[in-house]
Amino acid sequence: MTSQRADCGNLELRSQSCEQNLLSRPDGSATYCQGDTSVIVAVYGPAEVKQSKEFLDKATLEVIFKPKVGIPGCSEKFQERLIRNTCETIVLTALHPRSSINIIIQVMHNAGSLLSCCVNSTCMALLDAGLPMSCLVAAVTCSLSCDGDIILDPTSQQEKEAKAILTFVFESRDNEIITSNTHGIYSIKQYYSCVEACRKYGFVSCQSPLGTTNTVEQ
Amino acid sequence: MAADFKTAQPVEYYRQFLKKDVRPDGRELGEIRSTIVNIGSISTAEGSALVKLGNTTVICGIKAELCTPTNDEPKKGFVVPNVDLPPLCSPRFRPGPPSEQAQVVSQFIADVLKDSKMVNHEDLCIAEGKIVWVLYCDMMCLDYDGNVIDACIISLLAALRNVALPSIEVDEETAKPKLTSSTSSTMTVQSLPVSTSFAIFDNSILIADPTNEEENLATGVVTVVTNECGELCALHKPGGSSLSESQIQECVKRSFSRGDEIRKLLDETFNSLDR
Amino acid sequence: MAGIELLSDQGFRADGRRPHELRKIRCRMGVFRQADGSAYIEQGNTKVLATVYGPHEITGGRSKALHDKVLLNCQYSMATFSTGERKTRPKGDRRSQEMSMNLRRTFQAAILTHLYPRSQIDIYVQVLQSDGGNYCACVNAATLAVIDAGIPMRDYVCACTSSLLEDTPVVDISYLEESVGSPEMVVALLPKSEQIVLFQQNSRLHVDNLEKVLDMGIKGCTDVYGILDQSVREHVTEVSNLMMST
């Protein structure tokens, strides 16, 4: 019943592309495309911070998630928190105490695997802004079909048909999971096989984040 | 003396305890605070439950209302969960619109409710395409001492099992709903998800059921939601220190045993009510 | 209202009480750890929770600070599931705002505000289940919570409702008695000095009856005072025993 993707197999990622530094006003910006899913991210900072939000020992990191249409609600706040926590883990905020780092994520088009696209895009934008980071991150989404098949980087149609959708964020040092977000019901065994399937690709893109950009664009 | 040390060096204070595999409140690392459930305490609500997890207190009240279903799904009713963290429960919340924390917890509970298929939405149908039930599940935190997610999910589960809906029929002539009998029917809850949260301390040590203090000092948190069939409904880890596979395995294992404990506790509580 | 007899020939009310009888009051102090003071009160089926934070630094803008007394911040809210019909706005609607303001004024009269200049005290009350006399239960709960927080007050503040049913003054009216349109009188009293700090009256009442209804309300307040005082004493004994034993 699962729809087969035309461009590639189910255990491969869709074609990825990334462009950095395309906006002139922000300190760093990047757009990331996974298949038809596309997100643009702008990073401002380190800059001055409002006194009420100031931390004495680290920078204040804020994430604003803008959906393609409509006004942001609870689920956007949830995504914001997820991405903010992920960024706080990798950005060395202690190097910029009493300052702010703002990350604005604008969804351009959602054709599945939105969360992973947002995280990847944010990582590239942070890189472009030249903020010190302890490591890089790579996010991969996968879905489990009703018969238990794993589909990497699913499209929206595949997400709709899926029994469960899992997104993982891996760091580049030891390739361990730093973020895990799941929807749907699955067994622990399936969870691990998803982690393994995703890790393989997380590793590749983490190894050469700029490399992937270039090769795919060519 | 100990209090001064705690204020000046909270992380070091905790380390000294954790070195000896014990926490300042006397718990072991994997030990969860005592859980108390009180069911049906609010008589104005169709279903209610009060849950105490150590000091953390959450009350869940469910109100049922009638509404028209959507055209796409004419047989399906609605369940609307909402988590309120009022300034009453902790000095960290200010009066005004819902805090970010409240919105994040609300969304997580809504996801769990949907993913675990707790309620069969078709059970809430009265007349297809005309009238269905909408259940407003309001969870309010009364005392915020960490790990609200777990307390909220237990309270929601207990309150949903406590819901008694009056029997209603649509009058053929006037097309208006009317009460058929004064007896009310309890609702069946299809799946019983229970969540267990862990905090990661110093990038390596896992502690179950963190208090507010522990949450603030932690370098990361993980929440695992399991159901009664031995399946996972969510493994939520929003950033923070990375975890190895064996650590995740440990969390999942603890979560399954915790799930069984809570389901047993709820069964016992409901049985004592019936008697 | 046909069918419902609010006062029987034998002088009993719909819930079996005599006219001067209060509903059963159950209260507990120090129920929560996060707050500096907290209390829970049940007056019949009305259930209210109150917590007090402070005195602490002013939050949200220094400009609000008062140089000669404490800033009192009160918030009254009703849980969405507290009433028969679901409340869509648990707080911030006009009714709650009015209640919050009344609460602030009541406690401004009772708390020794001049002791904490440039500071703030928060009183939050939450109605969990409503069955008439919400405001009174809130005042009584808040009094206990303020005492639990150890904030000095001139006196307890005790509040009680009263009404007139078929020419008989009755005390502590329930939702049923409230909703039939009988006059409702709310009195908040400092019982030792018998000073009234809040007095509110809804719907029509003949001036000849005013005094006897008011007397009934005041009597209700003094009765409430007795119960609150006893529970405070019990709580303090319990706490001191605990401290002695450790």
Establish if B15 belongs to a structural domain: no
Chain C residues whose beta carbon lies within 8 Å of the beta carbon of residue B94:
59-60
Q: How would you class B140 by CB atoms within 10 Å of its CB: exposed for 0-12, middle for 13-18, buried for 19 or more?
A: buried
For the cut 90, the answer to whether the pLDDT of residue B239 exceeds it is no
pTM tops 0.90, yes or no: yes
Supply the ipTM of this predicted assembly.
Answer: 0.90
Element spanning A89, H or E: helix A74-90
pLDDT at A213: 45
d(CA B153, CA B100): 19
CB contact under 8 Å between B238 and A176, yes or no, is no
Q: Is C153 helix (H, G, I), strand (E, B) or coil?
A: strand
pLDDT at A8: 57
At B176, is the pLDDT very low, low, confident or very high (cuts 50, 70, 90)? confident
Q: State the average pLDDT over residues C40-62.
A: 91
Which member of B108, B116, B239 has the closest CB to residue A85?
Answer: B239
Which member of B44, B86, B91 has the closest CB to residue C82?
Answer: B44
Establish if B224 belongs to a structural domain: yes
Establish if B16 belongs to a structural domain: no
Establish if B57 belongs to a structural domain: yes
CB contact under 8 Å between A178 and B242, yes or no, is yes
pLDDT at B166: 87
Residue B33 token pair: 């605070």
Chain B residues whose beta carbon lies within 8 Å of the beta carbon of residue C82:
42, 44, 61
CB contact under 8 Å between B243 and A176, yes or no, is yes
Chain B residues whose beta carbon lies within 8 Å of the beta carbon of residue C176:
none
Establish if B248 belongs to a structural domain: yes
Chain B residues whose beta carbon lies within 8 Å of the beta carbon of residue A87:
239
Residue C78 identity: M
Chain C residues whose beta carbon lies within 8 Å of the beta carbon of residue B139:
none
At C119, is the pLDDT very low, low, confident or very high (cuts 50, 70, 90)? very high
CB contact under 8 Å between B136 and C122, yes or no, is no
- Domain with residue B85: its CATH number is 3.30.230.70
Chain A residues whose beta carbon lies within 8 Å of the beta carbon of residue B115:
164, 182-185
Q: CB within 8 A of C3, min separation 6: which ones?
A: none
Q: Which residues pair with C74 in a beta bridge?
A: C123
For the cut 60, the answer to whether the pLDDT of residue C120 exceeds it is yes
Residue B14 identity: Y
Cα B210 to Cα A6, A52, A99, B29, B217: the distances in Å are 47, 27, 30, 10, 10
CATH 3.30.230.70 for the A16-206 domain, yes or no: yes
Residue C184 identity: E
Note down the domain range covering B77.
24-274
pLDDT at A5: 60
Report the mean per-residue pLDDT for chain C.
91
| Rounded to 5°, angle at Cα B215 from B210 and B221 | 80
For the cut 50, the answer to whether the pLDDT of residue B144 exceeds it is yes
Which member of A77, A164, A177 has the closest CB to residue B100?
Answer: A77
Q: The tokens 């999910």 sit on which residue?
A: B153
Establish if B54 belongs to a structural domain: yes
pLDDT at B170: 81
Report domain extents, chain A. Answer: 16-206
Residue A171 at interface with chain B, using a CB cutoff of 8 Å:
yes
CB contact under 8 Å between B235 and A185, yes or no, is no
CB contact under 8 Å between C59 and B94, yes or no, is yes
φ/ψ bin of C78: left (φ > 0), alpha (ψ from -120 to 50), beta (otherwise): beta
Residue A208 token pair: 């050469």
pLDDT at B196: 96
- Provide the 8-state DSSP code for B119: S
For the cut 80, the answer to whether the pLDDT of residue A7 exceeds it is no
Can you give the C-alpha Rg of chain C in angstroms? 18
Least Cα separation, residue B106 to chain A (angstroms)? 7
- Which has the closest alpha carbon to C154: C121, C187, C190? C190
At A214, is the pLDDT very low, low, confident or very high (cuts 50, 70, 90)? very low
Q: How many domains does chain B have?
A: 1
Residue of A nearest to B115 (CA): A184
Residue B158 token pair: 């207990």
Residue B89 at interface with chain C, using a CB cutoff of 8 Å:
yes
> What is the per-residue pLDDT across A99-124, written as a single tens digit (0 to 9) for each?
999 999 999 999 999 999 999 999 99
At A9, is the pLDDT very low, low, confident or very high (cuts 50, 70, 90)? low
Residue of C nearest to B55 (CA): C33
Residue A27 token pair: 């300190």
